[in-house]
Amino acid sequence: MEAVHKQHEADENCVNREMEFSPAYRWQHWIRAFSIVVLTITGFYIADPFVTPIQSAEPDNFMQALFRSWHEIFGFILIAVVLLKSYLFIFAKRYKGEMISIKDFLNPKVWMQQVGYYLLVSKHPHLKGTYNPLQFIAYMGFYTLVFILIITGLILYVHVYHEGLGAFFYPFMRELEVLLGGLAWVRELHHIAMWGVILFVTVHVYMAIYNAVFGKDGSMDAIFSGMKWHKKH
CATH number at residue 181: 1.20.950.20
pLDDT tens digits along 103-131: 888 888 888 888 887 777 778 777 777 77
Query: How far is the C-alpha of 133 from the C-alpha of 180, rounded, in Å?
Result: 31
**pLDDT more than 90, % of the chain:** 35
pLDDT tens digits along 41-96: 999 999 888 877 777 766 667 888 889 999 999 999 999 999 988 888 888 777 77
Neighbours of 140 (CB within 10 A): 14
pLDDT band of 160, cuts 50, 70, 90 = confident
Q: Residue 178: pLDDT above 80?
A: yes
Give the per-residue pLDDT at 232.
Answer: 59
Mean pLDDT of 180-206: 92
Domain coverage including residue 36: 2-231
Query: How far is the C-alpha of 191 from the C-alpha of 149, rounded, in Å?
Result: 8
Give the per-residue pLDDT at 198.
Answer: 94
Fill in the DSSP letter of residue 227: E
pLDDT band of 8, cuts 50, 70, 90 = very low
Q: Residue 167: pLDDT above 80?
A: yes
Fill in the DSSP letter of residue 161: -
Give the per-residue pLDDT at 75.
Answer: 95
Greatest CA span in the chain, whole angstroms? Answer: 75
Q: Residue 7: pLDDT above 50?
A: no
More confident residue, 149 or 56: 149
More confident residue, 208 or 199: 199
Give me the amino acid identity at 91. Answer: F
Give the per-residue pLDDT at 175.
Answer: 92
Q: What is the Cα 22 distance to its own chain's centre?
A: 16
Give the per-residue pLDDT at 70.
Answer: 94
Give the per-residue pLDDT at 230.
Answer: 63
pLDDT band of 219, cuts 50, 70, 90 = low
Mean pLDDT of all residues in the chain?
82
Total of domains in the chain: 1
Give the per-residue pLDDT at 4.
Answer: 45
